[in-house]
Structure 1
């Protein structure tokens, strides 16, 4: 039995030809729905199932062409397919489909690349009012996408993965584009990049992955409709003394979700994002230009002062140590109620973390995904406890500590939290395998934490 939409179809086996007859009786809309989950090369093969299906495949709404699949399905005893086989197949499918619209069109050319043919196929998809376009093009020479792409009236989702410069014509207008995903592309200059973003008046989600900004000094991403922004920055491996500082300014008054991952060689300045609810910042440990990286992290965090949920991973907090006097420019995160630390706490991190928590006066939930590194040494008389963040004492209600090793520093840290947290309701500790494998030590750790004098009489300590 199958329920699709509000129509119910019951398939029963009443004889040897029952399955074939039932398939033949399915409406075209149901057949199209089934075929939308199958690679296009296999969709074409369904023509042999019955006369009814002979031409149905020519009007399917989803087309997926991937030249790497031609190699994947070949045996060692056969010669690899020629480029013309793939090109001719794509051309045949598009030429036989008539005037019906295309809902989703994916073209992946990792093995073969024929610029004129690819240009023609993309133009054909645009002519068929495609709504979702996914292009993965590994090019050998400079390649310019067809001009018709950049003035499509029907595109709602566009994904481009292309290892070359992204060049545009003078006119760019995507009146319906809501999702834009760009990967590996090189932006030619400041003007063309700004032209692209300003040509998307209803854009809601923007993702930039491993893009090159080598030729650009200033970028402005301005969109009042943007809600989700993800930047995965490509590491810079050029000479240390060569400047590679591109200023990326973000104006997005309705942004709700922001994620940045990578080595911040670019200076990202978040100017107008007061509506951001969730933010994820992941920065690797800087080996060079530590002060510069630290200052860039400070600038990035400055623009997220209104965030409610913040996830910082890898060495984001640690990089603040290298920012020097810049760290005083950190804002007060008045709205921040949940902070996740998806990183191993290192020696440099613990002090920086305490300073950062002082900027979070209303924090209610603190999450550690990893335990303390072996180089961390925390004792009850350490100076870090002399200026305990007020949020720990008066606001913190939930503390989660994963990968708990049960070493002295971790026990001391949690005991101090328990002793000073007046409103703490729950401390959830997830132990590592080595601790679980030592029952005697496990028992001692539980007793040390469960018998500590707690300022919050209602706090429950759980182990898992």
Structure 2
């Protein structure tokens, strides 16, 4: 038998095996392929001819836009052709472009179309200079479970309710402020994850999220300790992520010794932490009011002030606040410090954590990429020599 004939038999056998796979498995295979190649699968066989048009997840990512640029075509035009030829439900629609901008009317058409085809997961992240204004149709889309918006502007209609939304991520987005002191109520009965990054006017929204588990607030919501006392959201979440500016906002008001409520936090992450006495006091307050908290994650200590004045002020406070520190770190089992640079303040912070965490099991320190390995070895030797309150505490330096 010739090599050509053998190759044809193997090819036919391979096609036969693949064609016998369930349709949902074939769709998962197509999910792993860039959309420009998904369309090309129609030439494989009669079985594949219409398969691409039933693909439930449509991803238009940087690879797609690079392909469009190479063939010098119009991205909105191609996307429009793809969705108009689509057959069946569209469960996922992801428009992610760091280079291409879209006309308001084009995106409106996309959203109206997918809203009528059972959309569950929607991502909008476009390189528009002006924020994209969401159409009203998005607020009547009851099938949405995951919504991720970047550089968007929207006005919430009265009575807006996403009954099945599980995850909501907003970045560089703005909610239209109501006239006067009116507060907009947004009911999200199934929401578990909420992320707000560099968003404006989210304070005007009263979020009703009884099942919220994870909350991330980065340079957005003006969090106060009063929010923790009054807003039910803060008493039900198990995972909280704040950044340095959020801690600064907390410290701009009176820092209570005790909150009126007990928090159910299991983990807390602090990003871009600029060490100061005020921020440390705020962090300790949250930790002390979270009796179930076992994980602490500090994602980069930035702009550390190494002047003698500020360093001595911090060291002096921590040395006198031993009872508060003991209470705050009493249940911590895992601590992770990312982008470690080996500054004096970072080393002292680690020393304090090790000395006051009796249940600590793991201290994971991730060295900043710009640091030298030789300095890393020196830091590790110093860290190992620190006194540990927990005999089981292990230091992992990566």
TM, length-normalised to structure 2: 0.71
Q: Which residue of 2 aligns with 1:259?
A: 241
CA distance in 2, matches of 1:153, 1:48: 36
Q: Secondary structure at the match of 2:150?
A: strand
Q: Secondary structure at the match of 2:49?
A: coil
Asked whether 1:425 is paired with 2:398, we answer no
Q: Which residue of 2 aligns with 1:231?
A: 217
CA distance in 2, matches of 1:63, 1:259: 30
Q: Which residue of 1 aligns with 2:373?
A: none
Query: 78, 87, 97: which one pairs with 1:89?
Result: 78
Query: 322, 335, 343: which one pairs with 1:373?
Result: 343
Q: Which residue of 2 aligns with 1:174?
A: 162
Q: Secondary structure at the match of 2:48?
A: coil
CA distance in 1, matches of 2:29, 2:336: 44
Q: Which residue of 2 aligns with 1:357?
A: 325
Asked whether the equivalents of residues 347 and 375 of structure 1 are also in contact (C-alpha less than 8 Å), the reply is: no
Q: Secondary structure at the match of 2:14?
A: helix
Asked whether 1:69 is paired with 2:58, we answer no
Summarize deviations over 1:346-387 as a string: whole Å, max 9, x none: 766555545352334734657575596358999xxxxx99xx
Higher helix proportion, which one? Answer: 2
CA distance in 2, matches of 1:135, 1:276: 31
Q: CA RMSD in A?
A: 4.4
Displacement, 1:273? 6.2
CA distance in 2, matches of 1:364, 1:245: 27
Note the residue ranges of structure 2 that are not aligned, 5 or more in a row.
Answer: 1-6, 254-258, 366-375
Asked whether the equivalents of residues 291 and 331 of structure 2 are also in contact (C-alpha less than 8 Å), the reply is: no
Summarize deviations over 1:394-417 as a string: whole Å, max 9, x none: x45657485563699768x72xx3
Q: Secondary structure at the match of 1:358?
A: helix
**Structure number with higher relative contact order (C-alpha < 8 Å, ≥ 6 residues apart):** 2
Higher gyration radius (CA): 1
Q: Secondary structure at the match of 1:52?
A: helix
Summarize deviations over 1:164-208 as a string: whole Å, max 9, x none: 433233341101111111111123326899636x22122111111
Asked whether 1:405 is paired with 2:378, we answer yes
Q: Which residue of 1 aligns with 2:368?
A: none
Asked whether the equivalents of residues 24 and 50 of structure 1 are also in contact (C-alpha less than 8 Å), the reply is: no
Asked whether 1:55 is paired with 2:50, we answer yes
CA pair 158-303 structure 1, distance change in 2 beyond 3 A: farther
Q: Which residue of 2 aligns with 1:44?
A: 39
CA distance in 2, matches of 1:396, 1:260: 24
Q: Secondary structure at the match of 2:90?
A: coil
Aligned residues, how many? Answer: 356
Note the residue ranges of structure 1 that are not aligned, 5 or more in a row.
Answer: 1-11, 235-243, 325-345, 379-383, 433-464
Displacement, 1:61? 1.1
Summarize deviations over 1:284-326 as a string: whole Å, max 9, x none: 327xxx787667656655654653333345459x99xxxx9xx
Displacement, 1:118? 0.6
For residues 86-235 of structure 1, the aligned pairs below 5 Å read: 86-98=75-87, 100-110=88-98, 111-162=100-151, 164-189=152-177, 195=184, 198-213=186-201, 220-233=206-219
Q: Secondary structure at the match of 1:310?
A: strand
Displacement, 1:60? 1.2
Q: Secondary structure at the match of 1:150?
A: helix
Asked whether the equivalents of residues 222 and 249 of structure 2 are also in contact (C-alpha less than 8 Å), the reply is: yes
CA pair 14-202 structure 1, distance change in 2 beyond 3 A: same
CA pair 193-202 structure 1, distance change in 2 beyond 3 A: farther
CA pair 431-257 structure 1, distance change in 2 beyond 3 A: closer
TM, length-normalised to structure 1: 0.62
